[in-house]
Amino acid sequence: MTKPPKPKPLLQDADKPVRSRPRKPRDPAQPNLPDPMPDRIEPCLALLKARPPKGDDWVYEIKWDGYRLAVHIEPRGVRILTRSGLDWTHRFPLIEAAAKALPVSTAIVDGEAVVVDERGRSDFGLLQQSLGGRGGKKRSSNAVFMAFDLLYFDGHNLRKSELDVRRHLLEDLVPAGGQGNIRLSEEIEADGDQLLASACEHDLEGIIAKRRDAPYRSGRLGDWVKIKCVQSDSFVIVGYERSTVARAGIGRLLLAARKGKKLVYVGGVGTGFNERNAYELREKLDRLNTSTPAATVDRKGAIFVKPKLIAEIEYRGWTDDG
């Protein structure tokens, strides 16, 4: 009796057996999560604009002046990551403890670590001071985390959800009006121009506008817009650094402010002038060259000039060390 012919695998060549498509292996540390929890998410960044956008598509918040952080609440504990991905959990112990107390098993909360002054305004200088100054290694004992977005929640990746959906879940997790070490950055129903004017009157840094229907997209793509209350003042030019790009140009002006009877170096600025302006300014500065600096400036390669020229500078605020 002859054997019936062996059937070919369906929709396949005879020499290629049917196989199911391989699944992505699940992380054994988080076996029950519908969406694997990202190890890190690049932040959505705000695009700088001169005026607030108009229309019902936009919502507003106060702009906080601090360090951008992502608080990861994970099965193994809490991680607090900086914008560049550094693990600063140990530097914000009060925020870490507050995150552990939130009623959620897994989450990634986007926000800003700030220190507020006696009037409730965020002060970047005070935040730096709480961390030991520029380059310091201290643990902050008074920083609070202003939460403004929720990217992952109880096993679900929310980045494709609209801002309104993410905010609804965030407000359940971090209720408005709280005074703990994790607080809600509240949305404000207002006209953008009026809100900006009010923010500037109260010496705040500015405001943020966000599209209601936008998903969370990493990078500076225009879904979020920042409008700043710009400060400006006059500073004495005490030197400059040569540009490594523009021929015969200026890379950075070195500036000083008068404190009492002496000039004190306050920093430098390398933007706000084009190549032609820089060339003309360079000619003026070269006629003022001096070997005796008008202020103490510890900058390698600095070229010092007599303190004869004044520059009007727009700036965001003063750091703790001036």
Q: Are 100 and 92 in contact (CB under 8 A)?
A: no
Span 47-228: which CATH code? 3.30.470.30
Residue 143 and residue 114 in contact, taking contact as beta carbons nearer than 8 Å: yes
Flag the least confident range among 34-38, 40-44, 80-84, 105-109.
34-38
Pick the residue with more confidence: 278 or 40?
40
Q: Determine phi and psi for 15, rounding to 5 degrees.
A: -90, 10
Q: Which amino acid is at 132?
A: G
The reply to whether 47-228 and 231-315 are identical in fold is no
Contact residues for 293 (Cβ-Cβ < 8 A; gap 6+): 238, 239, 302, 304
Confidence (pTM): 0.70
- Reference 193, options 60, 69, 78, 28; nearest CA is 60
Dihedral sign, CA of 144, 146, 151, 155? positive
**Spans of all domains in the chain:** 47-228, 231-315
Q: Dihedrals φ, ψ of 311, to 5°?
A: -120, 135
For the segment 160-182, what is each residue's pLDDT rounded down to a tens digit? 999 999 999 999 999 998 899 99
Give the closest residue to 284 by CA, choosing from 248, 234, 247, 244: 248
Q: What is residue 230's predicted lDDT score, i.e. its pLDDT?
A: 78
From the CB of residue 178, how many other CB atoms can be counted at a distance below 10 Å?
13
Catalytic residues: 63
> Would you state the CATH architecture of domain 231-315?
Beta Barrel (2.40)
